[in-house]
Amino acid sequence: MEPLKMIEKDIPPIDVHPMNDILRMDRIPHIWCPGCGIGTAVTAFAAGLKKAEIDLQKTCVVSGIGCTGRVAGYIKLDSFHTTHGRGIAFATGIKVANPDLKVVVFSGDGDLISIGGNHFIHAARRNVNMLVICINNFIYAMTGGQVAPTTPLAAYATTSPFGCVESPFNIPYLADSSGAVYVARWTALHVRRLTNSIAEALNKPGFSVIEVISPCAMYYSRINRLGDGLDMMKFYHDNAEIRHGEDTKNLDIGFQTKIIVGKFVDRERPTYMDSYNKWLSGTKKD
Protein backbone atom coordinates (compact mmCIF):
# COMPACT_ATOMS: atom_id res chain seq x y z
CA MET A 1 0.00 0.00 0.00
CA GLU A 2 1.23 3.51 -0.81
CA PRO A 3 2.37 5.57 2.23
CA LEU A 4 -0.21 8.30 1.64
CA LYS A 5 -3.07 5.84 1.50
CA MET A 6 -1.80 4.17 4.69
CA ILE A 7 -1.94 7.53 6.47
CA GLU A 8 -5.41 8.22 5.14
CA LYS A 9 -6.56 4.81 6.32
CA ASP A 10 -5.16 5.21 9.85
CA ILE A 11 -6.61 8.66 10.55
CA PRO A 12 -10.35 8.68 11.30
CA PRO A 13 -12.38 11.31 9.43
CA ILE A 14 -13.19 14.53 11.30
CA ASP A 15 -16.73 15.74 10.74
CA VAL A 16 -16.39 19.10 12.51
CA HIS A 17 -13.61 21.48 13.43
CA PRO A 18 -12.40 20.87 17.02
CA MET A 19 -13.27 24.48 17.92
CA ASN A 20 -16.64 24.44 16.23
CA ASP A 21 -18.37 24.89 19.60
CA ILE A 22 -16.34 28.04 20.38
CA LEU A 23 -15.90 29.79 17.02
CA ARG A 24 -18.53 31.15 14.62
CA MET A 25 -17.52 29.07 11.63
CA ASP A 26 -19.96 30.92 9.37
CA ARG A 27 -17.68 33.98 9.72
CA ILE A 28 -14.49 32.12 8.81
CA PRO A 29 -12.14 32.92 7.06
CA HIS A 30 -11.21 35.85 9.30
CA ILE A 31 -9.94 39.25 8.18
CA TRP A 32 -6.56 39.26 9.96
CA CYS A 33 -3.44 39.67 7.86
CA PRO A 34 -0.97 36.84 7.18
CA GLY A 35 1.56 36.73 9.99
CA CYS A 36 -0.71 38.42 12.53
CA GLY A 37 -0.70 36.86 16.00
CA ILE A 38 -4.31 37.62 16.91
CA GLY A 39 -5.62 34.36 15.46
CA THR A 40 -3.10 32.41 17.53
CA ALA A 41 -4.26 34.25 20.66
CA VAL A 42 -7.88 33.40 19.80
CA THR A 43 -6.90 29.73 19.54
CA ALA A 44 -5.32 29.94 23.00
CA PHE A 45 -8.46 31.68 24.29
CA ALA A 46 -10.73 28.96 22.90
CA ALA A 47 -8.55 26.27 24.45
CA GLY A 48 -8.41 28.21 27.72
CA LEU A 49 -12.20 28.44 27.87
CA LYS A 50 -12.44 24.68 27.62
CA LYS A 51 -9.67 24.07 30.13
CA ALA A 52 -11.24 26.44 32.67
CA GLU A 53 -14.45 24.35 32.56
CA ILE A 54 -16.65 27.39 33.04
CA ASP A 55 -20.27 27.69 31.97
CA LEU A 56 -20.13 29.10 28.44
CA GLN A 57 -23.82 29.94 28.63
CA LYS A 58 -22.89 32.46 31.31
CA THR A 59 -19.79 33.82 29.59
CA CYS A 60 -19.60 36.88 27.35
CA VAL A 61 -16.87 38.61 25.34
CA VAL A 62 -16.56 42.37 24.96
CA SER A 63 -14.28 44.25 22.58
CA GLY A 64 -13.68 47.75 21.33
CA ILE A 65 -12.53 48.90 17.91
CA GLY A 66 -9.40 47.82 16.05
CA CYS A 67 -7.91 44.63 14.64
CA THR A 68 -8.29 42.77 17.94
CA GLY A 69 -11.75 44.22 18.41
CA ARG A 70 -12.92 41.83 15.71
CA VAL A 71 -12.43 38.90 18.08
CA ALA A 72 -15.86 39.29 19.67
CA GLY A 73 -17.48 38.64 16.31
CA TYR A 74 -15.71 35.30 15.83
CA ILE A 75 -16.44 33.80 19.25
CA LYS A 76 -19.63 31.76 19.62
CA LEU A 77 -20.58 33.37 22.93
CA ASP A 78 -22.70 36.36 23.84
CA SER A 79 -20.54 39.06 22.24
CA PHE A 80 -20.48 42.83 22.35
CA HIS A 81 -18.52 44.93 19.84
CA THR A 82 -18.48 48.34 21.50
CA THR A 83 -17.18 51.81 20.66
CA HIS A 84 -13.47 52.66 20.62
CA GLY A 85 -11.91 52.53 24.07
CA ARG A 86 -15.13 51.73 25.89
CA GLY A 87 -14.91 47.94 26.14
CA ILE A 88 -14.03 47.88 29.86
CA ALA A 89 -16.68 50.47 30.71
CA PHE A 90 -19.27 48.42 28.84
CA ALA A 91 -18.06 45.21 30.53
CA THR A 92 -18.32 46.86 33.94
CA GLY A 93 -21.96 47.62 33.24
CA ILE A 94 -22.59 44.01 32.26
CA LYS A 95 -20.93 42.70 35.41
CA VAL A 96 -22.82 45.06 37.72
CA ALA A 97 -26.14 44.30 36.03
CA ASN A 98 -25.60 40.53 36.12
CA PRO A 99 -22.82 39.50 38.56
CA ASP A 100 -23.28 35.82 37.66
CA LEU A 101 -21.79 36.35 34.20
CA LYS A 102 -18.15 35.66 33.40
CA VAL A 103 -16.98 38.72 31.47
CA VAL A 104 -13.93 38.83 29.20
CA VAL A 105 -12.65 41.95 27.46
CA PHE A 106 -10.54 41.01 24.43
CA SER A 107 -9.05 43.99 22.61
CA GLY A 108 -5.86 45.75 21.52
CA ASP A 109 -3.32 48.05 23.15
CA GLY A 110 -4.55 51.16 21.34
CA ASP A 111 -8.14 50.48 22.33
CA LEU A 112 -7.51 49.44 25.96
CA ILE A 113 -4.43 51.38 27.02
CA SER A 114 -4.68 54.58 24.97
CA ILE A 115 -8.26 55.59 24.25
CA GLY A 116 -9.59 53.33 27.01
CA GLY A 117 -6.74 53.91 29.47
CA ASN A 118 -8.88 55.73 32.00
CA HIS A 119 -11.37 52.86 32.14
CA PHE A 120 -8.50 50.36 32.44
CA ILE A 121 -6.94 51.92 35.56
CA HIS A 122 -10.24 52.54 37.33
CA ALA A 123 -11.60 49.03 36.69
CA ALA A 124 -8.34 47.72 38.17
CA ARG A 125 -8.66 50.11 41.13
CA ARG A 126 -12.21 48.96 41.79
CA ASN A 127 -11.19 45.32 41.18
CA VAL A 128 -14.14 44.68 38.88
CA ASN A 129 -14.42 40.94 38.31
CA MET A 130 -13.37 40.49 34.68
CA LEU A 131 -10.52 39.20 32.54
CA VAL A 132 -8.84 41.64 30.16
CA ILE A 133 -6.78 40.12 27.34
CA CYS A 134 -4.75 42.85 25.67
CA ILE A 135 -3.09 42.11 22.34
CA ASN A 136 -0.06 44.39 22.17
CA ASN A 137 1.43 44.79 18.69
CA PHE A 138 3.10 48.13 19.52
CA ILE A 139 1.12 50.14 16.98
CA TYR A 140 -2.29 51.31 15.77
CA ALA A 141 -2.69 48.74 13.01
CA MET A 142 -6.21 48.99 11.60
CA THR A 143 -6.09 52.78 11.25
CA GLY A 144 -2.81 52.96 9.35
CA GLY A 145 0.21 52.26 11.53
CA GLN A 146 0.26 55.31 13.81
CA VAL A 147 2.44 55.47 16.94
CA ALA A 148 0.74 54.02 20.04
CA PRO A 149 1.30 54.41 23.80
CA THR A 150 3.06 51.04 23.67
CA THR A 151 5.38 51.80 20.72
CA PRO A 152 8.99 51.27 21.91
CA LEU A 153 11.40 54.19 21.92
CA ALA A 154 13.12 54.66 18.54
CA ALA A 155 10.61 52.44 16.70
CA TYR A 156 9.16 53.86 13.50
CA ALA A 157 5.47 54.41 12.76
CA THR A 158 3.60 56.42 10.15
CA THR A 159 3.31 59.28 12.66
CA SER A 160 6.85 58.90 14.00
CA PRO A 161 8.92 58.82 10.80
CA PHE A 162 12.10 59.66 12.73
CA GLY A 163 11.44 57.16 15.52
CA CYS A 164 9.21 57.25 18.59
CA VAL A 165 10.43 59.68 21.26
CA GLU A 166 7.67 58.96 23.83
CA SER A 167 8.28 56.42 26.60
CA PRO A 168 5.79 53.54 26.20
CA PHE A 169 3.52 52.19 28.88
CA ASN A 170 4.63 49.11 30.78
CA ILE A 171 1.23 47.37 30.76
CA PRO A 172 1.88 44.87 33.59
CA TYR A 173 3.21 47.66 35.82
CA LEU A 174 0.21 49.85 34.97
CA ALA A 175 -2.18 47.00 35.84
CA ASP A 176 -0.29 46.03 39.00
CA SER A 177 0.01 49.56 40.39
CA SER A 178 -3.68 50.21 39.65
CA GLY A 179 -4.78 47.18 41.67
CA ALA A 180 -5.18 44.19 39.33
CA VAL A 181 -5.12 40.85 41.18
CA TYR A 182 -3.72 38.75 38.33
CA VAL A 183 -1.17 40.01 35.80
CA ALA A 184 0.69 37.99 33.17
CA ARG A 185 2.43 38.51 29.85
CA TRP A 186 3.12 36.05 27.05
CA THR A 187 3.91 36.28 23.37
CA ALA A 188 1.91 34.76 20.54
CA LEU A 189 4.61 32.09 20.42
CA HIS A 190 3.83 30.83 23.95
CA VAL A 191 0.54 29.19 22.99
CA ARG A 192 0.37 26.55 25.73
CA ARG A 193 1.50 28.90 28.48
CA LEU A 194 -0.97 31.52 27.28
CA THR A 195 -3.74 28.91 27.25
CA ASN A 196 -2.94 27.87 30.83
CA SER A 197 -2.78 31.49 31.95
CA ILE A 198 -6.17 32.27 30.41
CA ALA A 199 -7.73 29.24 32.08
CA GLU A 200 -6.23 30.25 35.43
CA ALA A 201 -7.34 33.87 35.12
CA LEU A 202 -10.88 32.86 34.14
CA ASN A 203 -11.25 31.23 37.55
CA LYS A 204 -9.63 34.11 39.45
CA PRO A 205 -12.05 36.53 41.20
CA GLY A 206 -11.20 40.14 40.48
CA PHE A 207 -9.59 42.22 37.75
CA SER A 208 -7.15 40.08 35.75
CA VAL A 209 -4.91 41.24 32.90
CA ILE A 210 -3.03 39.15 30.35
CA GLU A 211 -0.86 40.99 27.85
CA VAL A 212 -0.09 39.14 24.62
CA ILE A 213 2.84 40.43 22.56
CA SER A 214 1.82 39.87 18.95
CA PRO A 215 3.40 40.37 15.51
CA CYS A 216 1.95 42.99 13.20
CA ALA A 217 3.60 42.05 9.92
CA MET A 218 1.63 44.54 7.85
CA TYR A 219 2.58 47.72 9.75
CA TYR A 220 4.93 47.48 12.74
CA SER A 221 7.24 44.83 11.31
CA ARG A 222 7.22 46.22 7.78
CA ILE A 223 7.78 49.85 8.77
CA ASN A 224 10.64 48.81 11.05
CA ARG A 225 12.06 46.30 8.54
CA LEU A 226 11.77 43.38 10.94
CA GLY A 227 10.57 40.82 8.42
CA ASP A 228 7.27 38.95 8.45
CA GLY A 229 5.27 37.30 11.21
CA LEU A 230 7.48 34.23 11.20
CA ASP A 231 10.56 36.39 11.68
CA MET A 232 8.90 38.01 14.69
CA MET A 233 8.05 34.60 16.11
CA LYS A 234 11.71 33.63 15.77
CA PHE A 235 12.62 36.83 17.59
CA TYR A 236 10.26 35.91 20.45
CA HIS A 237 11.81 32.45 20.58
CA ASP A 238 15.32 33.85 20.90
CA ASN A 239 14.58 36.87 23.11
CA ALA A 240 11.68 36.02 25.42
CA GLU A 241 12.73 35.14 28.97
CA ILE A 242 10.31 33.58 31.47
CA ARG A 243 10.56 35.18 34.91
CA HIS A 244 7.55 34.34 37.05
CA GLY A 245 7.06 36.75 39.92
CA GLU A 246 9.29 39.44 38.42
CA ASP A 247 8.73 42.94 39.79
CA THR A 248 6.47 44.64 37.24
CA LYS A 249 8.67 47.75 37.38
CA ASN A 250 11.25 45.75 35.44
CA LEU A 251 9.05 44.82 32.50
CA ASP A 252 9.62 47.70 30.10
CA ILE A 253 9.99 46.63 26.46
CA GLY A 254 12.61 48.33 24.32
CA PHE A 255 12.98 48.24 20.56
CA GLN A 256 14.06 44.70 19.66
CA THR A 257 15.31 44.01 23.18
CA LYS A 258 14.68 41.09 25.53
CA ILE A 259 11.01 40.56 26.45
CA ILE A 260 10.31 39.30 29.96
CA VAL A 261 7.23 37.07 30.11
CA GLY A 262 5.50 35.07 32.83
CA LYS A 263 2.96 35.43 35.62
CA PHE A 264 3.90 38.42 37.74
CA VAL A 265 0.94 39.08 40.06
CA ASP A 266 -1.46 36.65 41.75
CA ARG A 267 -3.02 38.11 44.89
CA GLU A 268 -6.33 38.38 46.70
CA ARG A 269 -8.49 41.50 47.07
CA PRO A 270 -12.24 41.95 47.60
CA THR A 271 -13.95 42.42 44.26
CA TYR A 272 -15.98 45.52 43.49
CA MET A 273 -19.28 43.69 43.96
CA ASP A 274 -18.07 42.12 47.23
CA SER A 275 -17.22 45.57 48.58
CA TYR A 276 -20.47 47.05 47.29
CA ASN A 277 -22.64 44.30 48.78
CA LYS A 278 -20.80 44.53 52.11
CA TRP A 279 -21.39 48.28 52.20
CA LEU A 280 -25.03 47.81 51.17
CA SER A 281 -25.72 45.25 53.89
CA GLY A 282 -24.14 47.56 56.49
CA THR A 283 -26.27 50.46 55.31
CA LYS A 284 -29.46 48.43 55.58
CA LYS A 285 -28.60 47.47 59.18
CA ASP A 286 -28.21 51.14 60.08
pLDDT of the residue at 12: 62
For residue 262, list its beta bridge partners: 185
In a domain, 150, yes or no: yes
Its pTM stands at 0.92
pLDDT at 1 (0 to 100): 47
Q: In whole angstroms, give the CA distance from residue 196 to residue 86.
A: 27
What's the chain look like in SS3?
A: CCHHHHHHHHCCCCCCCCCCCCECHHHCCCCCCCCCCHHHHHHHHHHHHHHHCCCHHHEEEEECCCCHHHHHHHECCEEEECCCCCHHHHHHHHHHHCCCCEEEEEEEHHHHHHHCHHHHHHHHHHCCCEEEEEEECCEECCCCCEECCCCCCCCCECCECCCCCCCCCCHHHHHHHHCCCEEEEEECCCHHHHHHHHHHHHCCCCEEEEEEECCCCCCHHHHCCCCCHHHHHHHHHHHEEECCCCCHHHCCCCCCCCEEEEEEEECCCCCHHHHHHHHHHHHHHC
- Residue 286 has what pLDDT? 55
Q: Residue 159 maps to which CATH number?
A: 3.40.50.970
Does residue 273 belong to any structural domain of this protein? yes
- pLDDT the model gives residue 219: 94
6 in a structural domain: no
pLDDT of residue 137: 97
Q: Is residue 5 part of a domain?
A: no
| pLDDT value of position 28 | 84
pLDDT, tens only, 183-202: 999 999 999 999 999 999 99
pLDDT digits (tens, 9 = 90+) for 244-278: 999 999 999 999 999 999 999 999 999 999 998 88
- pLDDT at res. 2: 52
Q: What is the pLDDT of residue 279?
A: 86
- pLDDT of the residue at 5: 52
Q: Is residue 9 part of a domain?
A: no
| Domain-embedded: residue 2 | no
Does residue 197 fall inside a structural domain? Answer: yes
Please tell me the distance from the alpha carbon of residue 207 to that of residue 116, in angstroms, as a whole number.
Answer: 15
Query: Structural domain tally of the chain?
Result: 1
- Regions of the chain short of the pLDDT cut 50: 1, 6
Range of the domain at 161: 19-285
Amino acid identity, residue 192? R
